[in-house]
């Protein structure tokens, strides 16, 4: 989902139309406050990725203040920010890139180049979401399951794992089954691919 925050309705409409021509779902907000209110509802990340096109200069709350808020909430990795800037805003945009913004475009911008970067940001968001989900699954493993997991990833067979940990082979099999279930994989190869 592409989230567009710009105080100019013409820009919001044009960007929304441009996104739809690329098959990207888009939602527009007239102010940074309106976008923040949408985040205060239960936050659901789009499985296809999320990206925020953000105007720097807006009345009430600026794009930079909104970006700082997103940084403080730890949302920028899953919600990459692309700034839209006027000529005088370039130093602000460059500073924001250094602090984690995905990119910035100076107005007027090339539509195709902007949408190409939006698609790259959506891909980065998807990767960030997948990574966060894997990390969340890892936290469900017990300390012993983590030990077994590490030995599985080294390529050890159940008997070797049992010998190294001083437990029975049946116990290793139980831990292995729990690990595969919690990590939502069926084989050690899938597990290795997931955690590479």
Residue 89 predicted with pLDDT over 80: no
Residue 43 predicted with pLDDT over 70: no
Vertex 49, ends 141 and 33: CA angle to 5°? 105
Vertex 7, ends 22 and 87: CA angle to 5°? 85
Tens-place pLDDT, residues 145-163: 999 999 999 889 999 999 9
Phi, psi of 134 (to 5 degrees): -65, -45
| Mean pLDDT (the chain, rounded) | 89
Query: Residue 107, SS3?
Result: coil
Domains and CATH numbers, the chain: 2-133 (3.40.50.2300), 140-194 (1.10.10.10)
Non-local CB neighbours of 178 within 8 Å, separated by 6+ positions: 141, 145
User: pLDDT over 70 for what percent of the chain?
Assistant: 95
Query: Residue 175, SS3?
Result: helix
**pLDDT at residue 38, as a whole number:** 86
Tens-place pLDDT, residues 94-133: 788 888 899 989 888 899 999 999 999 999 888 876 777 7
């Amino acid at each position: 989902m592409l989230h567009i925050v710009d105080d100019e309705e013409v820009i919001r409409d044009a960007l929304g139309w441009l996104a739809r021509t690329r098959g990207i779902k888009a939602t527009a907000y007239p102010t940074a406050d309106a976008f923040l209110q949408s985040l205060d509802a239960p936050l659901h990340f789009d499985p296809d990725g999320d990206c925020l096109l953000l105007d720097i200069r807006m009345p009430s709350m600026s794009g930079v203040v909104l970006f700082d808020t997103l940084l403080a909430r730890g949302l920028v990795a899953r919600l990459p920010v692309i700034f839209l800037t006027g000529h005088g805003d370039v130093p602000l945009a460059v500073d924001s890139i250094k602090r984690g913004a995905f990119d910035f475009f100076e107005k007027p911008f090339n539509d195709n180049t902007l949408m190409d970067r939006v698609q790259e940001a959506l891909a980065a968001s998807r990767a960030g979401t997948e990574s966060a989900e894997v990390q969340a699954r890892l936290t469900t493993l017990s300390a012993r399951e983590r030990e077994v997991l590490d030995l599985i990833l080294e390529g050890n067979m159940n008997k070797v794992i049992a010998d190294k940990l001083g437990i029975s082979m049946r116990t290793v099999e139980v831990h292995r089954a729990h690990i595969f279930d919690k990590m939502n994989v069926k084989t050690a190869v899938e597990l290795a691919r997931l955690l590479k």
